[in-house]
Amino acid sequence: MQKITTQFILNQYRSGIKSYSDFTKEVGLWDSEKYVFQKYLEPTDKILDLGCGTGRTTFPLVKLGYKNIVAIDLTPEMIEAAQSLNQYFEMEIDFRIGDATDLEFEALQFDTIIFSFNGLMSIPKQSNRDAALKEINRVLKNGGTFIFTTHDRAREKEFFEFWKTEKEKWDQGTQNPSLYEFGDLVTTSKNESREIFIHIPIEKEITDWLNQHHFEVVETFYRVDRFDEREAVKMKSGECRFWIVKKVG
């Protein structure tokens, strides 16, 4: 069986364009995101919205006064949809096609990079996520901030049995051969029937990974511990862990 490829990821997002556009038009920022962005971003910051999708975080950030922003996404159809939403929101945001694992920017460019709604974990294969984190480190200024979210295997009680069985399969070598690492999951998206790939880590995996790549954790929290998001947010997004980290080398 073929491994999960970038083509799979492009198809997974292509088939969700309308849903992401509606989320951008009708929902925008989550309360948790508003808290994090207003706490950690300065209005003068040069910001990269990585994996911006249809601009769900980009448009409200500009509206809040964070105007020095560039937004990129791997999926060309997401960028087309974001560009057409520029007219809907009467804005002129710079949306570009780009890959987090190979950024077009020179080193030390950005004060803040965001990768919202678990996008970093939708990159298949650890070595590719390593490449993305290296690129994020390269284009961030020293001391710059990187904000992203992940799911958390250790917090998702309804899946404890699933992960226990999954671990046994990996130990025996009988796991789904299209996956790369334990924690990988191919599933259907929340309330939709799209097939999606996502890597679901535990907190320590991410903390260790960030340390290896010269990032220090400034704040991390599990969304539901602090925020009771609107139904429209919960309908579309499962619970997640926020990571606010700082480049230290």
Shorter beta-carbon distance to ligand SAM: residue 52 or 139: 52
User: How far is 146 from 207, CA to CA, in rounded Å?
Assistant: 13
Nearest to 51 by CA among 117, 112, 111, 6: 117
Which residue from 75, 49, 76, 73 is spatially nearest to 62, judged by alpha carbons? Answer: 49
Least Å from the CB of residue 164 to ligand SAM: 27
State how beta strands 241-247 and 215-222 pair: antiparallel
Least distance to ligand SAM from the beta carbon of 201, Å?
Answer: 16
Taken as a whole, the chain contains a residue count of 249
Nearest to 102 by CA among 67, 138, 64, 76: 138
Between 84 and 142, name the residue whose CB sits nearer to ligand SAM.
Answer: 84
Smallest gap from Cβ 106 to ligand SAM, in A, equals 18
Q: Which residues bind ligand SAM (CB under 6 A)?
A: 9, 13, 20, 23, 50-53, 56-57, 73-75, 78, 99-101, 116-119, 122-123
CB of 125 to ligand SAM, least distance (A): 11
For residue 69, list its beta bridge partners. 47
25 vs 67 by CB, closer to ligand SAM = 25
Nearer to ligand SAM, 8 or 170 (CB): 8
